[in-house]
Amino acid sequence: MIRYLRLWRQFVVLALVRQAEYRLNFLVSVGVGFAQLALAVLTFLLLYRFTNDVAGWSRAQVLLLLGIYRIVEGLLSLQIAPNLRAIDEAIRRGDMDFLLLRPVSSQFLVSLRLLSPAELVNVLIGIALTICAGNLAGVRWGAGNIAEALAYGLCGLVLLYAVWFLIVTCAFWLVQVETLHELFVTVSLTAQYPVDFFRGDVRTFLTFVVPVAFATTFPTKALLGTVQSRLLPIGLVLAGTALLATHLFWGYAVRHYSSASS
């Protein structure tokens, strides 16, 4: 465990060194982050032009959720996205050989070794929006509800990682998976709406099957103090199961890897 933490610290240092080389890239990340946020805010402003209440959510509450979505999305882009977007290329070119040969868990290496520090700005924008919108929505900030929101958010992050990782692992069989990433983007887009905006089977699907609800809806409700407490154990079990599933599927997929270089 200690060894893994030390390895991860090395990844962070390397990423910072790399980032310093590409400063324009930093500006682009910031610009894209602001554009996406502006688009989402505009969408909600248009939605709330006609009513003050959509499925029990006020405008301020939805903005709070949007802040949490930016944090989750920023964390995914910071630590997960650069890795998962590199996996298919590594398989196609045979670079995967070198990752599999290292004396540590290969899933750990392929999932966490790259970071894009510029995304930290998006996380900060998200935190700022969360605080502003939270005050508007009348959140009573306390250690209890913040801890609860963090717990839900962590489950949500793990679940999103698992869904994306399972999709990307299919790259061992399919050659071109660039569009598979887009499939995940579509899934994660639903996280910028409260899951209550959807009804019936779609809502069940987004709560339990592809559980984006744990990433944004439940943390928001935890801050507002309206979450059902039985959901947290369900989230922990779901997240644990999902991690185990990625581990097993990765192991199975690696056995089918026919190195491209040797």
Partner 1 sequence: MKARALGRLTAMNVMLTLEYRAAVSVFILNSVARPVISLLIWLTVSDQGVRLPYGRGQLVTYYVVLGVVSMLTATWLDETLPQHIRLGGLSPWLLRPAPYVFYYISENLGQKLVNLSTLLPLVLVVAFAFRADLRLPTSPLPWLIFAASLPLAMAIRFLLELVLCSLAFWVEDVEGVLALQSVLGAFLAGQYIPLALFPPSLSGFLDAQPFRYTLSFPLEVLMGTLSAGALASGFAWASGYCLVLWCCCRLPWRSGLRAYSATGA
The tokens for 91 are 């398989």
Instruction: Kindly state the tokens that stand for 158.
Output: 């793990």
Which residues does 173 contact at the CB level (< 8 Å), separation at least 6? 253, 256
Alpha helices in 22-119 (DSSP H): 23-47, 59-75, 81-93, 96-101, 106-112
| 49 touches partner 1 by CB under 8 A | yes
- Single out the residue of 197, 205, 232, 249 in contact with partner 1 (rule: CB under 8 A): 197
Q: Which is nearer to partner 1, 8 or 198 (CB)?
A: 198
Out of 2, 5, 6, 50, name the contact with partner 1 by CB under 8 A.
Answer: 50
166/245 Cα distance (integer angstroms): 8
Q: CA-to-CA distance for 258 and 260, rounded, in angstroms?
A: 6
- Beta partners for residue 57, in sequence order: 54
- Restricting to residues 156-195, name those near partner 1 by CB under 8 A: 174, 176-180, 182-183, 185-186, 189-190, 193
- Identity of the residue, 185 or 237, whose beta carbon is nearer to partner 1 in the bound complex: 185
Q: Please tell me whether residue 23 binds partner 1 under the rule CB under 8 A.
A: no
Exactly one of 2, 46, 101, 143 binds partner 1 (CB under 8 A); that residue is: 46
Q: Give the span between the Cα atoms of 62 and 35, in whole angstroms.
A: 18
In the list 17, 31, 204, 241, the residue contacting partner 1 (rule: CB under 8 A) is 31
Residue-wise over 156-186: b if at least 16 C-beta within 10 A, else e? bbbbbbbbbbbbbbebbeeeebeebeeebee
Residue 205 contacts partner 1 per CB under 8 A = no
Nearer to partner 1, 31 or 142 (CB): 31
Our finding on whether 54 is near partner 1 (CB under 8 A) is yes
Interface residues with partner 1 (CB under 8 A) are 28, 31-32, 35-36, 39, 42-43, 46-47, 49-51, 53-55, 174, 176-180, 182-183, 185-186, 189-190, 193, 197-199, 202
